[in-house]
């Protein structure tokens, strides 16, 4: 609670860099599990992708819910059930095995009514649709990476792409491990997750850029420390956004399952929920680690790190940049701050050039 309180007040309450190693291990393991499950168990592709069997049952007065109960008894509860012309049940199930389909037909005939038609159906979501979607996804990755490289920087593009790929693998992994059925709606959920994760990551990166632009030129903090400050400042937003995005989904999950147990809605909600939290997690822990790792390798930030270390700061928890320091630096960097040191009336330029824009001024040792 005190951590949340600290984050609420915008203090550097969490030492993110100390968690990075653990996050990488956890993410790697999770990704490996996801990939392994994908490789071994594959995905449970639904009717729309693989086709299945359709049954037409003459059974006036039977409701969709009653028919679903019967299908659930046959372990095919995810069938798509429609009422045709008011008296015919059209049941489409992803069962492909003809023997099993015949068994279902017999049960349906016994429990619901005369089975008038019974045949194999092809996929509505054909290979061509999938091919196009995959190609679009590849183009999407390339173009968005370029966009981030141009608007922010290429190292951030790398981080963002890794984070998004991570989120997708984990979400698809959940479907593979739990063998939820993949429907077109699920594919949409994956895309939503991707967009969401990307959005979150860009917000985090923009904060990092702002803070580095403001404090980076002082050469007093390593990139990792600046990253930590940014993450602490942006964490509350990430949490709030995850909460506001998750509330409707949780509501869908609880009420959807409590009231009528629509399995498709439930699975859909689970996927979205996983995606929302994994998306926030990956931008706070994964996307930031990658960028910090890449940036610390840069000549300039290596020098800064060397200077900081020579000042006697040893390894340990990441140094916390206090609010006062951060704020003072921000007014110092602003040429138009009022002479009394009061609040700047005009907005100071925040986007100081990344390297060597404002020369670091000598600063009295405080303390």
| 126 is a contact residue toward other proteins (CB under 8 A) | yes
Q: How far is the CB of 271 from other proteins (least distance, A)?
A: 10
Q: Residue 280 is encoded by which pair of tokens?
A: 């926030």
- 244 vs 242: CA distance, rounded Å: 6
Rg (CA), the chain: 27
126 Cβ contact list (under 8 Å, min separation 6) = none
Residues 270-299 that bind other proteins (CB under 8 A): 272, 276
Q: Which one of the spans 103-111, 123-131, 297-305, 354-362 is the region binding other proteins (CB under 8 A)?
A: 123-131
Binding other proteins (rule: CB under 8 A), the pick from 3, 4, 29, 143 is 143
**Is 25 one of the binding residues for other proteins (CB under 8 A)?**
no
- Interface residue with other proteins among 12, 59, 93, 289 (CB under 8 A) is 12
Length of the chain: 367
Site for other proteins contains 210 (CB under 8 A): yes
Binders of other proteins: how many residues, by CB under 8 A? 102
Q: Nearest to residue 329, comparing CAs of 236, 246, 252, 221?
A: 221
| Span from 174-182, 193-201, 287-295, 302-310 in contact with other proteins (CB under 8 A) | 193-201
356 and 218 in contact (C-beta within 8 Å)?
no
The binder of other proteins chosen from 61, 122, 316, 359 (CB under 8 A): 122
Residue 304 neighbours by CB distance under 10 Å: 21
Of 64, 102, 178, 303, the one binding other proteins (CB under 8 A) is 64
Please report where in the chains the tokens 């030129």 appear, as a residue: 217
Out of 14, 159, 181, 207, the only residue in the binding site for other proteins (CB under 8 A) is 207
For β-strands 181-182 and 44-45, DSSP reports them as: parallel
- Considering beta carbons, is residue 233 or 295 the nearer one to other proteins? 233
Nearer to other proteins, 24 or 185 (CB): 185
Strand 88-93 with 52-58, pairing: antiparallel
HSE (side-chain half, CA atoms, 13 Å) at 138:
5
Can you read off the two tokens belonging to residue 16? 């993110």
Q: By CB under 8 A, tell whether 237 contacts other proteins.
A: yes
What whole-number distance in Å separates Cα of residue 16 and Cα of residue 258? 38
By CB under 8 A, which span of 16-24, 103-111, 143-151, 172-180 interacts with other proteins?
A: 143-151
| Shortest Cβ 73–other proteins spacing (Å) | 17
Residues 69 to 98: which contact other proteins by CB under 8 A?
80-86, 88, 90
């Amino acid at each position: 609670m005190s951590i949340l309180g600290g984050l609420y007040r915008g203090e550097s309450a969490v030492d993110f860099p100390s968690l990075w190693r653990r996050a990488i291990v956890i993410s790697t393991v999770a990704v490996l599990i996801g990939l392994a499950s994908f490789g071994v168990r594959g995905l449970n592709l639904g009717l729309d992708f693989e086709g299945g069997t359709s049954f037409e049952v003459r059974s006036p007065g039977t409701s969709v819910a009653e028919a679903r109960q019967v299908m659930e008894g046959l372990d095919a509860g995810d069938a798509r059930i429609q009422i045709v012309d008011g008296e015919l049940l059209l049941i489409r199930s992803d069962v492909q095995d003809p023997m099993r389909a015949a068994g279902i037909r017999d049960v349906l005939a016994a429990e619901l009514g005369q089975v008038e038609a019974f045949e194999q159906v092809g996929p509505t979501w054909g290979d061509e649709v999938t091919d196009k979607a995959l190609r679009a996804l590849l183009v999407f990755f390339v173009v968005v990476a370029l966009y981030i490289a141009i608007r922010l920087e290429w190292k951030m593009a790398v981080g963002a792409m890794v984070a998004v790929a991570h989120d997708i693998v984990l979400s698809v992994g959940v479907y593979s491990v739990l063998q939820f059925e993949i429907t077109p709606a699920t594919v949409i959920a994956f895309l939503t997750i991707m967009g969401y994760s990307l959005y979150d990551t860009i917000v985090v990166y923009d904060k990092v850029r702002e803070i580095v632009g403001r404090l980076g030129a002082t050469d007093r903090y390593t990139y990792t420390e600046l990253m930590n400050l940014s993450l602490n400042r942006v964490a509350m937003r990430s949490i709030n956004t995850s909460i506001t995005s998750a509330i409707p989904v949780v509501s869908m999950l609880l009420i959807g399952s409590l009231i009528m147990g629509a399995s498709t809605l439930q699975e859909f909600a689970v996927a979205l929920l996983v995606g929302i939290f994994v998306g926030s997690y990956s931008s706070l822990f994964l996307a930031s680690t990658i960028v910090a790792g890449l940036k610390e390798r840069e000549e300039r930030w290596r020098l800064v790190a060397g200077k900081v270390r020579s000042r006697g700061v040893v390894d340990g928890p990441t140094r916390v940049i206090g609010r006062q320091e951060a704020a003072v630096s921000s007014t110092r960097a602003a040429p138009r701050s009022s002479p009394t040191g009061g609040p700047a009336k005009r907005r100071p330029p925040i986007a100081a050039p990344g390297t060597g824009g404002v020369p670091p001024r000598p600063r009295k040792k405080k303390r």
